[in-house]
């Protein structure tokens, strides 16, 4: 039996959608991200920021098929080895570390670990919110990605820049 929900790409919203057994609609967006191109001054294509969100604020009981569905989408995403993914754990409710730890545990247990590399950076930032934000960011890409050396180099540079004042 299939362990995830069926999902479809909605051409109206430009998101991948699925509905759970509790009738909760999830939307998954891939945002074209040019951060690496901007910071490096070179064109680094096929980099996307992953955003997963419920369409409304209803609370949903734990449903294992939700994470399995997201996992399936990520697996298909890396079916194209040129794709790279940025995932930022939001700091709303100051839960970014908790979210990052869940994501990290999932990655460490996953079968993708063999082929998909994950690099992490923690960024402390004050952007005028009620409290300074701590962002847990992850970058994932296929080990055979032709841009992998560039991606690692830029990521290291970002890390170095963030450690400048330490």
Residues 31-60 that bind other proteins (CB under 8 A): 31-33, 35, 38-42, 46, 48-49, 51, 53-57
The DSSP code sequence of 112-123 is GGGTEEEEEEEE
Q: Are strands 84-89 and 25-32 parallel, antiparallel or unpaired?
A: unpaired
Question: How big is the site for other proteins, counted in residues (CB under 8 A)?
Answer: 52
Under a CB-based contact definition with an 8 Å cutoff, are residues 73 and 50 in contact?
Answer: no
User: Is 6 an interacting residue with respect to other proteins (CB under 8 A)?
Assistant: no
Phi, psi angles (nearest 5°) of residue 92? -65, 140
Q: From residue 83, how far is each of 63, 75, 144 by CA, in Å?
A: 28, 11, 10
d(CA 89, CA 107): 14
Residues 93-122 that bind other proteins (CB under 8 A): none
| Stretch of 22-30, 59-67, 107-115, 138-146 lying at the interface with other proteins (CB under 8 A) | 22-30
Which residues of the shown chain bind other proteins in the complex (CB under 8 A)? 9, 13-16, 27, 29-33, 35, 38-42, 46, 48-49, 51, 53-57, 73, 76-77, 79-80, 83, 86, 88, 90, 123, 125, 127, 133, 135, 137, 149-150, 153-154, 157-158, 160-162, 164-165
């Amino acid at each position: 039996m299939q362990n995830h929900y069926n999902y479809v790409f909605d051409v109206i919203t430009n998101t991948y959608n699925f509905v759970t057994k509790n009738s909760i609609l999830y939307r998954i967006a891939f945002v074209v991200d040019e951060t690496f191109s901007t910071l490096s001054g070179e064109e680094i294509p096929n980099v996307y920021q992953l955003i997963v969100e419920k369409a409304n604020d209803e609370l949903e009981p734990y449903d294992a098929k939700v994470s399995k569905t997201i996992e399936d989408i990520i697996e298909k995403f890396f079916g194209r080895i040129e794709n790279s993914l940025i995932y930022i754990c939001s700091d709303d409710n100051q839960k970014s570390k908790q979210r990052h730890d869940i994501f990290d545990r999932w990655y460490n247990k996953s079968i993708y670990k063999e082929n998909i590399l994950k690099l992490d950076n923690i960024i402390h930032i004050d952007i005028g919110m009620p409290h300074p934000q701590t962002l847990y960011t992850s970058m994932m890409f296929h080990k055979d990605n032709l841009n992998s050396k560039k991606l690692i180099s830029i990521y290291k540079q970002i890390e170095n820049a963030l450690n400048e004042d330490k």
